[in-house]
Amino acid sequence: MATTAAPYGARPVGTLSASGSFTGKTTQIKVASGYATSIFHGDFVKMVSAGTVEKDAGTTSLTCIGIFLGCKYTDPNTNQMTFNQYWPASTVASDAVAYVLTDPNATFMMQGDATIAQTALGANFAVVQTAGSTSIGKSKNACDASTVATTNTLPLRIVDFVDGPTSSIGDAFTDAIYKVNVGHQLVNTTGV
């Protein structure tokens, strides 16, 4: 049961697309050399006008292109190609590439920062942004349970609950399945 706050960011679990799988919906997008913000596995990222990705730090709104799943770059200290769960802030690497799940219909599991009731199914939520773990490279973002509403500008929509041995509806820190509600860059008609 999810009785302990242990947020893990957006963990992809599937898609609402016809194929039912997010296999092949991952895109490699450059990260600017020296980009000064860490990005963790499970963070939302956005494309910026330079044609690179950056962490999307929005809470009540997102302009994301997808979910960060890791990266590769030549480590400036070892000169070796490095595959990492997270982007270490300020890494200087001209060949840095992020792996991003870009499917606008992707579904992902996130932990709520408090109890989420069955009546929240279909509602919209904001995001709690927290620094990730550099030891394991994982995001610590969560769903902001206090923002449950019908408000059409909130970035996440709950589409299901995780109801099993580790989580139940109404737990102290409810795990649920979400999708990006508004703000996904691939469905927004305004360019970057």
pLDDT of the residue at 22: 64
CB 121 within 8 A of CB 160: yes
Classify residue 106 as exposed, middle or buried by CB count within 10 Å of its CB (0-12, 13-18, 19+): buried
Q: What residue segments make up the domains of the chain, in order of their start?
A: 20-101, 105-180
Helix residue ranges per DSSP H, the chain: none
Q: Rounded distance, CA 159 to CA 96, Å? A: 34
- What average pLDDT does the segment 105-111 reach? 94
Q: Rounded distance, CA 91 to CA 80, Å? A: 13
pLDDT of the residue at 177: 95
Q: What is the pLDDT of residues 146-181, one digit of tens each?
A: 999 999 999 999 999 998 888 888 888 999 999 999
- Bridge partners of 31, per DSSP, are none
* Higher local confidence (pLDDT), 18 or 121: 121
pLDDT of the residue at 14: 87
